[in-house]
Amino acid sequence: MALTNRKFTLAARPVGMPKESDFKLVETPVPAPNAGEMIVKSLYISVDPYMRGRMNDAKSYAAPVEIGGVMVGGVVGEVIESNNAKFKPGDIVQSEFGWQEYALSNGQGVRKVDPSLAPISTAIGILGMPGLTAYFGLLEIGQPKAGETVVISGAAGAVGMAVGQIAKIKGCRVVGIAGTDEKVKYLIDELGFDGAFNYKTTKNYVEELKRLCPKGIDVYFDNVGGAITDAVVPLLNVKGRMSICGQISQYNIEKPEMGPRWLWAMIVKQARVEGFLVFQFFEKFGPAVAEMAGWIKEGKLKYREDIVDGFENLPRAFIGMLQGDNTGKRLVKVADPSK
């Protein structure tokens, strides 16, 4: 085989919203695997909000992508050649292979995907990082109890949709905030949310939240931050919990945004605000995937994929997702499996 690998590298650190020119398409030959190594062909590549943070040269929980380095990202792929005893050609696998068509791997950090459980694309969606983020961020950080009210920002994103449905499974009243009327309709009609509103056409978030949450807010699952989060604070109940998953409204801002200070309200409400990274729950991933797969089979947990076709469209798919043009999990389809 004389395969050519295409990959997107980081060409420039974006200022504000990334542009397509911040990425560079590079071609290199696919190397032959040494002993213990294998070649994985990418089938689906994930684009997620967290990747925006990795494009900055800032100290964070993970190292930034270097200029000239391959963009990070979760991949579902197929083993096409293997000198590793644990993997054989035809195996469907998942790992953080990044934005490239082929990856050389020694098998570390690679998990096999069971295609009988659900479509293989879910391994980077509802049964992968976004689904696990929803599961642990809601259940471990938010700790919702039956009868409580859960509000979710970014509710029509991959994580938000799962959060809302899991909260419904746990017997909560669920209210979502999203950015188009179509998304709002989808949350209510298809996913069973008790209420939702479009933050782009709603003038007074506090009044709308009051209307939709007559008993106040017990758990807030935050993907967005900014003015939406400010509006949740006054309606938080005593002993309320804010599970901080993302702050997508802040990622493309050039200077830190100013907002009203509301820490004093945390005292009055005896409330807890907690940020998390899904990897802190790594040891519990197995049982969580099994439980969510069960909910999917029972029809209690639906997922929606927003699939963009073609490797070359990765930057556009990513930038569009940051601007909110997706409903559900945005991923890029690169190739079909061999069988």
Residues at the interface with a second copy (CB under 8 A): 60-61, 222, 225-226, 229, 238, 244-247, 250-251, 256-277, 280
* 17 exposure class (CB count in 10 Å sphere: 0-12, 13-18, 19+): middle
Cβ at position 267, least distance to a second copy in Å: 4
List CB contacts of 163: < 8 A, sequence separation 6 or more: 134, 137, 138, 150, 152, 155, 221
Cβ at position 152, least distance to a second copy in Å: 16
- Write out the two tokens for 143: 């700790």
Query: In whole angstroms, what is the distance from residue 114 CA to residue 294 CA?
Result: 14
Query: In whole angstroms, what is the distance from residue 205 CA to residue 73 CA?
Result: 34
Considering beta carbons, is residue 146 or 268 the nearer one to a second copy? 268
Cβ at position 258, least distance to a second copy in Å: 4
Considering beta carbons, is residue 107 or 160 the nearer one to a second copy? 160
Name the CA dihedral angle for 233, 237, 239, 243, rounded to a multiple of 10 degrees: -50
Considering beta carbons, is residue 31 or 259 the nearer one to a second copy? 259
Considering beta carbons, is residue 254 or 298 the nearer one to a second copy? 254
Considering beta carbons, is residue 79 or 158 the nearer one to a second copy? 158
* 297 exposure class (CB count in 10 Å sphere: 0-12, 13-18, 19+): exposed
- Give the distance between the most distant pair of CA atoms in the chain: 67
**Rg of the Cα atoms in the chain:** 20
Cβ at position 242, least distance to a second copy in Å: 8
Considering beta carbons, is residue 15 or 238 the nearer one to a second copy? 238
Q: Tell me how long the chain is.
A: 339
Cβ at position 310, least distance to a second copy in Å: 32
Cβ at position 15, least distance to a second copy in Å: 17
